Each structure stands twice: as structure tokens, then as C-alpha cells.
Amino acid sequence: MSKMHFVGQFSKTLGYLAFGLNNVLRFAGNVTRKVADSVSSTERYDVEILVEGATTVTHLNQSASQLSNLLIGMDRFGVTEVIIKKHTDNTSDK
């Protein structure tokens, strides 16, 4: 029975290591994406998400990667229309 106990503990340890490594890599990817978004001078977008003609959510000042994530996930929620416009900075008019 001690061999089975050892194999069980070893498998459990490998599972925890894989879980931890996955979370570390996910965190590093998120940090890298956020730093790249803040450093890069890419264009920004305003996005309106519509379901059956009614605006449900408006996202302002989105980067290209954030826009991509929105478009990938929109089919899960029954989105019928998306309006994408270039973000205009109104504070520069003052």
C-alpha cells in the first residue's frame, strides 16, 4: 500500500506543479500584454456592442488587443452587431 500512497502523492505533486506553472505563465502573459498596450502608440477604439438593435455595452479607449478579445468572445453572448470607431481624445481640444 505504501507504493500506491507514494504514486498518489507524486501525482498530486505533479498536478500542483503544473497548476502553478500554468498560473505563472498566464500572469506573465497578462503583464506583458498590459505593458505592451501602455507603451505602444497604437490607435485606440470605441466599441459599442448591440444585441437585437439595443446597445448593451460600450467600451471606450480600447487597444487593438482588447478589441480582438472582445470580438473573439462576442459570439458566446448572442451579439448581433458591433460598432467600432476610432477613439478621439476630447481633452486635446481644451
pLDDT at residue 90, as a whole number: 67
What's residue 93's pLDDT? 42
Query: Is residue 94 pLDDT above 50, yes or no?
Result: no
Among 30-34, 52-56, 81-85, name the one with the lowest average pLDDT.
52-56
Give me the residues paired with residue 49 across strands: 57, 82
Phi, psi of 63 (to 5 degrees): -80, 175
- Which pTM was predicted? 0.50
Per-chain mean pLDDT for the chain: 85
CB-CB contact of 50 with 83 (8 Å): yes
Contact assessment for residue 83 and residue 66, using Cβ atoms and an 8 Å cutoff: no
Confidence of residue 76 (pLDDT cuts 50, 70, 90): confident
Burial of 47 (0-12, 13-18, 19+ CB in 10 A): buried
Report the first-to-last Cα separation within the chain, whole angstroms. Answer: 77
Task: Examine the pLDDT at 78 and tell me if it is beyond 90.
Answer: no
